[in-house]
Homo-oligomer: A and B are copies of this chain.
Amino acid sequence: MINKRCVLNRPLAAGVPVADDFRVEPEEVAQPQPGEVLVRHRYLSLDPYQRAAIGGRHGGPGGPLGEGDMPGGETVGQVIESNQTSIPSGAWVRHAGGWQEFSVAAVDDVECLPESTLPPSVWLGALGMPGLTAWASVARLAEVQPGQTVLVSAAAGPVGATAGQLAREMGGRAVGIAGSDEKCAYLTGELGFEAAVNYKAPEFLSALAAVLPDGADVYHDNVGGQMLMDALGVLRPYGTVILCGLMSSYNDPAQRKDLYIGLPILKRAVLKGLVVYDFEAQRSEFVAQLQPLVERGAIKILEDCASGIESAGQQFCRLMRGENFGKALVEL
């Protein structure tokens, strides 16, 4: 049986990756040892942090990936070979399977998907790491209160879309920042955001101020850089900022724009750094709160799904150009 893996053609240079940075290689599927299972991946999650991880800038011991190395990434799939009664063959599981069709994993490293009528891909999006991130921000660190206004950047992505909808479910108002008029229309028309502003439009700053006449109580930042400073400009005094992502510099750290701290001082802002891995222990609470909301459609999911491992590189490039419309996935 052949496993196809998507690997690097070369180390990624600074800048947005291109499709030719990746290639697909076949290999024989490995045999699971005792305590392991063989998983056939059905969905691969592509996430912006993977750009930093490929460049060796996402923390941890590893350096940048080189030619022939396979990027990591979460997957959902079905166990097709197992000696473990705890995870029988046919079980749906979520784990860090990587950019490939099959993987062998230790039983302790895979998690069976909860019972649900939802498509399994949701466990990579609104009920997966992006959703956990949004929940940690809105429900835990920002502790959004009824009546508060929550501003979210990268709002059409799975973190931002979930954060905004959850804020609204908690009694707040969601205002989104996204990169196209189409995304903005979707946020207000389908996802219940009160307003959305296209940051690529020339009148972005005045439009942002116009939709927030009383300012934002909370800003969930997926972006960093100038957008963080622009958002601080419309933060209410004593507002909260959740520092959660650095999309503005994942592709090219040299283009990084840092924060003038006079801005948070002037706003008496409270800034909180969020790393989603800290909230793994609270995943069951998160699922208990979010799964019913997703199942009854109160929190809608939006997926941008490519097909086949051969499309993984191109789909990742689209994500890094901000061209994805919803959670970036590859169906395998």
Contact = CB atoms under 8 A, between A and B. Distances in A.
A228 B273 contact: no
Interface in A241-272: 243-244, 246, 256-262, 264-272
Contacts of A272: 268-271
B271 A275 contact: no
Nearest to A259: B259
A259 B270 CA distance: 15
A261 B268 CA distance: 17
Interface residues of A, number: 26
Copies in the complex: 2
A59 interface: yes
Interface string A203-224: 0000000000000000000001
A269 B270 CA distance: 10
B258 A259 contact: yes
A260 B262 contact: no
A278 interface: yes
A243 B265 contact: yes
A274 interface: yes
A182 to B, nearest CB: 29
Interface in A133-154: none
B256 A259 contact: no
A267 B273 contact: yes
Given A270-B270, A271-B271, A256 B260 contact: yes
Contacts of A256: 260
A261 B227 CA distance: 12
A267 B268 CA distance: 20
Given A258-B259, A264-B271, 19 more contacts: A224-B261, A243-B261, A246-B262, A246-B265, A256-B260, A257-B258, A258-B258, A258-B260, A259-B259, A259-B260, A264-B273, A265-B273, A265-B274, A268-B272, A268-B274, A268-B275, A270-B272, A271-B271, A271-B272
Interface of A: 59, 224, 228, 243-244, 246, 256-262, 264-275, 278
